[in-house]
């Protein structure tokens, strides 16, 4: 197998690298980190607009919608480059946008895809409710059809980035009497709409997710995505797009841990000569390589015009559990120094291991827990019968 990019693609990747090196500042990193690797802050928005101006936010979208008509392979490589320097989550460009591209009307594509491709608008995911997480068919928030608009009432929870995003990518019940999977619609809601209240929930990783309350919120009919009551299927596709995890951020942490092991002497012996540490680092290097193959396989499937499904569950599960193994090994290698936070005089690797250790816990929960990814693999990947 030959995974080499063409000379033109390699040139673009070099340009991306040079851009990231010159544009990403410590202040920008600190801002995005504080809001959960989101670009909704002022510096983040400026950066993403510049980044997107080159077509790099959605390279594989058609030119008419702001892309470069490039391959998903190249798009994934650009995502990895960015994640290595500064992990950022893109809800509009990488989750909602591709779903609109597949299922949205021509009017909806014209209205939303260009601003998304230019990095001008960001969305927040509005799926989970207090009694509906793993099983999203149990949603209760309701949108009542009023002719040219809907009136929405209900509550969402764990809706990350809602306090800094512009729009809610919302799953809502539009036909409460219909059977499951035929009663839901997706819509785009302006988060500044009267009747929306956003309340913070602080995660163990230190950043904010939210509860979002809807109280007689008016949403124009044209904000309905695709067909009414088909939203469950669009939501499943959007989840497939969400479950594609660039590992650049953890790959960089791994590289730094390896470097630390090479440079650090404990009790007169370099850590790099400790047989247990060598075994663990070698194992992680193998798993990172395996993840790469699973990740780029998703791009290959997209390049064939399909939406990967159980394959995304495979990658999400493998990547996020690998992230936990990397941070665990980081703790082993750094010893007690690993537990110190950024800013502490004795924190090794700028407190990265401590921070990522806490962060990696939530990675196996959002976008569907590990149990749910294994269920999908069993059912759709292995075709085992449903319970």
Residues that bind ligand FAD in the complex, under the rule CB under 6 A: 125-128, 133-134, 158-160, 203, 209, 362, 365-366, 368-369, 371-372, 375
Residue 81 or 211 having the CB closest to ligand FAD: 211
Residue 43 or 365 having the CB closest to ligand FAD: 365
CA distance 265 to 71: 45
Q: Give the shortest CB-158-to-ligand FAD separation in angstroms.
A: 3
Residue 63 or 134 having the CB closest to ligand FAD: 134
Residue 34 or 362 having the CB closest to ligand FAD: 362
Residue 153 or 155 having the CB closest to ligand FAD: 155
Secondary-structure breakdown of the chain: helix, strand, coil percentages, each rounded to the nearest 5: 55, 15, 30
- Computed on alpha carbons and rounded to an integer, the radius of gyration of the chain in Å comes to 21
Q: Give the shortest CB-321-to-ligand FAD separation in angstroms.
A: 13
Residue nearest to ligand FAD (CB): 133
Q: Give the shortest CB-30-to-ligand FAD separation in angstroms.
A: 20
CA distance 152 to 170: 11
For 302, the 3-state DSSP assignment is: helix
Asked if residues 226 and 186 have their Cβ atoms less than 8 Å apart, the reply is: yes
Angle at 67 between CA 224 and CA 160, to 5 degrees: 50
CA distances, 163 to each of 12, 154, 167, 200, 219 (Å): 34, 18, 10, 8, 19
Q: Give the shortest CB-186-to-ligand FAD separation in angstroms.
A: 12
DSSP string computed for 10-41: HHHHHHHHHHHHHH--HHHHHHHHHTTS---S
Asked if residues 157 and 128 have their Cβ atoms less than 8 Å apart, the reply is: yes
Q: Give the shortest CB-133-to-ligand FAD separation in angstroms.
A: 2
Q: Give the shortest CB-14-to-ligand FAD separation in angstroms.
A: 34
Q: Give the shortest CB-124-to-ligand FAD separation in angstroms.
A: 6
DSSP string computed for 243-292: T----HHHHHHHHHHHHHHHH-EETTEEGGG-HHHHHHHHHHHHHHHHHH
Residue 340 or 372 having the CB closest to ligand FAD: 372
Residue 337 or 366 having the CB closest to ligand FAD: 366
CA distance 82 to 289: 18
């Amino acid at each position: 197998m030959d995974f080499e990019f063409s000379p033109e693609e390699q040139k673009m990747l070099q340009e991306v690298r040079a851009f990231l090196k010159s544009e990403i500042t410590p202040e920008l990193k600190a801002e995005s980190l504080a809001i959960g690797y989101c670009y909704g802050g002022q510096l983040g928005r400026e950066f993403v607009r510049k980044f997107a101006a080159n077509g790099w936010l959605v390279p594989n979208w058609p030119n008419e919608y702001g892309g470069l008509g490039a391959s998903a392979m190249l798009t994934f490589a650009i995502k990895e480059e960015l994640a290595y320097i500064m992990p950022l989550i893109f809800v509009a460009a990488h989750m909602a946008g591709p779903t609109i591209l597949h299922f949205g009307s021509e009017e909806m594509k014209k209205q939303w895809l260009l601003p998304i491709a230019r990095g001008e608008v960001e969305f927040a995911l509005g799926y989970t409710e207090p009694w509906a997480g793993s099983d999203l068919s149990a949603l209760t928030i309701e949108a009542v059809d009023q002719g040219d608009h809907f009136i929405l009432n209900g509550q969402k929870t764990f809706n990350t980035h809602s306090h800094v995003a512009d729009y809610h990518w919302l799953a809502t019940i539009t036909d409460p009497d219909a059977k499951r999977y035929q009663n839901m619609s997706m819509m785009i809601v302006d988060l500044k709409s009267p009747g929306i209240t956003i309340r913070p929930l602080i995660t163990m990783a230190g950043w904010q997710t939210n509860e979002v309350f809807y109280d007689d919120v008016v949403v124009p009919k044209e904000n309905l995505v695709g067909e009414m009551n088909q939203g469950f299927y669009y939501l499943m596709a959007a989840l497939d797009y969400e479950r594609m995890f660039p590992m650049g951020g953890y790959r960089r942490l791994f590289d730094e841990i390896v470097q630390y092991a090479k440079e650090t002497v404990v009790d007169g012996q370099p850590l790099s000569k400790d047989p247990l540490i060598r075994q663990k680092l070698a194992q992680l290097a193998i798993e990172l390589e395996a993840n790469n193959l699973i990740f780029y396989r998703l791009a290959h499937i997209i390049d064939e015009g399909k939406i990967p499904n159980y394959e995304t569950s495979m990658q999400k599960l493998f990547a996020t559990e690998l992230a936990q193994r990397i941070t665990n090994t980081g703790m082993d290698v750094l010893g007690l120094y690993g537990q110190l936070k950024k800013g502490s005089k004795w924190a090794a690797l700028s407190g990265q291991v401590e921070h990522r250790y806490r962060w990696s816990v939530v990675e196996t929960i959002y976008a569907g827990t590990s149990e749910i990814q294994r269920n999908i693999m069993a059912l759709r990947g292995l075709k085992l019968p449903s319970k």
